[in-house]
Structure 1
Amino acid sequence: MKFLLPAALLSGLAGATTLPALPPVPSLNAAGIVTHGPRTVRQVALTFDGDMTAGMESELRSGKVKSFYNESVVAVLKKTNTPATFFLTGMWAQVYPQAAKELATNPLFEVENHSYDHPGFSQPCYGLARIATGAKLANMLQAQRAIHLATGVTPKYFRFPGGCAENGDVQLAEKVGMTVVHWDVVGGDVNQPNPQKIVSQTLARVQAGSIIVLHVSGGHAPATGEALGEIIAGLKKKGLTPVTLKTLLGK
């Protein structure tokens, strides 16, 4: 298996290889970012980020981390017949091309763009590596190509790493035909080994139209698969139906 990884999320942290946790609510002022669907429809979107960085690649090559693909997440979604959306970095798709293709070809799922190597498009951004202004568009397009090569799919949605973006960054995504989609509910699975905390944080904040952000990249989010079944059951108890982003947003 080919291990290619981005110098993004962690390479900006002097040797650090653990991804920083996201805040409860994305802190950004950029216009044009979708954070939820209609509040009048009792549907929600479960979304999973597939992060990949140069630091994570190093962990794979050294054997420190066995995998940054949490297959248990996908297994739970399939078992419960639950639709979901996966935001993949281009490098994740390169490292796990077969998994990316399987996600893209499963009618339950959709695959979208999470940048090529997970840099911070605006700063500060939780320790993510800085990306030069002139390299931002190339990074987005490189991810599009990598994802398309692995899956045959051309993403329509873009999610900025860490939720960090400026107005000009959003406009770049829009120029190449992508809508920027973030979230209004953070599952809190990054660096969280306790699945019950992920369940309670997710269900406490969710409402009609919510977009929930979790992770499929394992390693730095080890308990997501364990929490997911209870999250799905909890959503149903609240009368909320998980759908893909395209279904939730109607575009």
Structure 2
Amino acid sequence: MITLVRRIAVVCALGAALAACGSPQTSRTGRPDPSASSKPTAAAPAEPASSRPPVLPPAAGGLTPVFSHGPRTGGKTVALTFDADMTADQGARAAAGEHFDNPELIATLRALKAPATVFMTGRWAEQYPDQARSIGGDPLFELANHSHSHYAFTADCYGLPAVSADRMRSDVEHAYEAFRKAGVEHAMPYFRFPGGCYDQRALRALSPLGVTAVQWDVVSGDAFATDADAVVRQVLDGVRPGSVVVMHCTRSAAPTTERVVRAVVPELRKRGYRLVKVSDLIGASTGRT
């Protein structure tokens, strides 16, 4: 199993648009950008704390902490993140030829030497295990959890089916198990809520896993977009030092993203930004640089 805070082994066309969640209530910010259980195994031997991925400490009441951007001072850094979305019941569509992956996007990130964090559903990893293993094993990237089912963790989340409270933890654990079966050795202890929707009940349900919930402060608008230039402008207009940009790694639902990346990455660098991973921003926020 993967490494979490205590080395506990735990466990997309887009079904809906994404929006950011702004507080431990069901309120959300940003614009629309649109489960089976698995038991954890015994904990692996502890490794030195310095080699573990940085995470935020628990929030008040022991709730799962939420991260949306890094420090605004201390350097112009930005993290590009990509959601590899696929719901638990979209296998038939994939079998019929719909593409929930985007290998050209990953190839472009590699060609540009642009680090990124990919939030992947377990169902995506099951559909594309070779790609999941390749992304998870490439030091340019880090692979994090986007649930197994891509079902919502709150009610009324952009039309997504909802996972019940008693299955939230197992849904996340199931995704980590899917990563392990695909050959991903070091999935990160970061979790992104499907649709960006969460509340205190969801944060409480995931607290035993020791993950940090990762949101964003820049909505790219790439989901279902057909105008790549408009997405480029939205990203560049929104980026600030420490920003987390949300995009997608799903051809059928975000067909312009590869073109967006080809334009955004050179321009960000021209403006003095350094591209980093989410773990770098969290590390900077916690003093682990």
* Stretch moving more, 124-133 or 166-175: 166-175
Within 2, Cα distance between the matches of 1:57 and 1:202?
32
Alpha carbons 1:26, 1:184 under 8 Å: kept: no
Within 1, Cα distance between the matches of 2:253 and 2:89?
12
Number of aligned residue pairs: 233
Q: Aligned match of 1:46 in 59, 80, 86?
A: 80
Residue deviations 1:171-207 (CA, integer Å, cap 9, x gap): 3333112111110111111111211111011111110
Within 1, Cα distance between the matches of 2:21 and 2:228?
22
- Residue in structure 1 matched with residue 103 of structure 2 by the alignment: 71
Within 2, Cα distance between the matches of 1:233 and 1:56?
35
- Residue in structure 2 matched with residue 190 of structure 1 by the alignment: 223
- Residue in structure 2 matched with residue 108 of structure 1 by the alignment: 140
- Residue in structure 2 matched with residue 144 of structure 1 by the alignment: 176
Deviation at 1:170, TM superposition (A): 1.8
Structure 2 counterpart of 1:112, one-letter code: A
Identical amino acids, percent of aligned pairs: 36
Alpha carbons 2:88, 2:150 under 8 Å: kept: no
Alpha carbons 2:142, 2:277 under 8 Å: kept: yes
Deviation at 1:169, TM superposition (A): 1.5
Segments of 4+ in structure 1 off by > 4 A?
none
* CA separation of 1:75 and 1:154: change in aligned 2, threshold 3 A: closer
Residue deviations 1:40-81 (CA, integer Å, cap 9, x gap): 131111000000114532322223x2x211111111111111
Q: Aligned match of 1:173 in 206, 217, 241?
A: 206
* CA separation of 1:68 and 1:168: change in aligned 2, threshold 3 A: same
* CA separation of 1:120 and 1:98: change in aligned 2, threshold 3 A: same
Q: Aligned match of 1:119 in 131, 151, 157?
A: 151
Alpha carbons 1:45, 1:85 under 8 Å: kept: yes
Alpha carbons 1:163, 1:182 under 8 Å: kept: yes
TM-score (norm 2): 0.76
Report the 3-state secondary structure (helix = DSSP H, G, I; strand = E; otherwise coil) of the residue aligned with 1:193: coil
Report the 3-state secondary structure (helix = DSSP H, G, I; strand = E; otherwise coil) of the residue aligned with 1:36: coil
- Residue in structure 1 matched with residue 239 of structure 2 by the alignment: 206
Report the 3-state secondary structure (helix = DSSP H, G, I; strand = E; otherwise coil) of the residue aligned with 1:211: strand
TM-score (norm 1): 0.87
- Residue in structure 2 matched with residue 93 of structure 1 by the alignment: 125
Alpha carbons 1:27, 1:164 under 8 Å: kept: no
* Stretch moving more, 166-175 or 117-126: 166-175
Report the 3-state secondary structure (helix = DSSP H, G, I; strand = E; otherwise coil) of the residue aligned with 1:169: helix
User: Which of 1 and 2 has greater Rg?
Assistant: 2
Q: Aligned match of 2:17 in 21, 29, 33?
A: 21
| Structure 2 unaligned residues grouped into runs of 5+ | 1-11, 26-58, 60-64
Q: Aligned match of 1:228 in 231, 254, 261?
A: 261
Deviation at 1:87, TM superposition (A): 0.4
Residue deviations 1:151-181 (CA, integer Å, cap 9, x gap): 1224310000011011231233331121111
Alpha carbons 1:27, 1:163 under 8 Å: kept: no
Structure 2 counterpart of 1:137, one-letter code: R
Report the 3-state secondary structure (helix = DSSP H, G, I; strand = E; otherwise coil) of the residue aligned with 1:142: helix
* CA separation of 1:231 and 1:100: change in aligned 2, threshold 3 A: same
Deviation at 1:21, TM superposition (A): 2.6
RMSD over equivalenced CA pairs, Å: 1.7
Within 2, Cα distance between the matches of 1:49 and 1:161?
9
Within 1, Cα distance between the matches of 2:178 and 2:158?
25
Alpha carbons 1:76, 1:225 under 8 Å: kept: yes
Alpha carbons 2:82, 2:247 under 8 Å: kept: yes
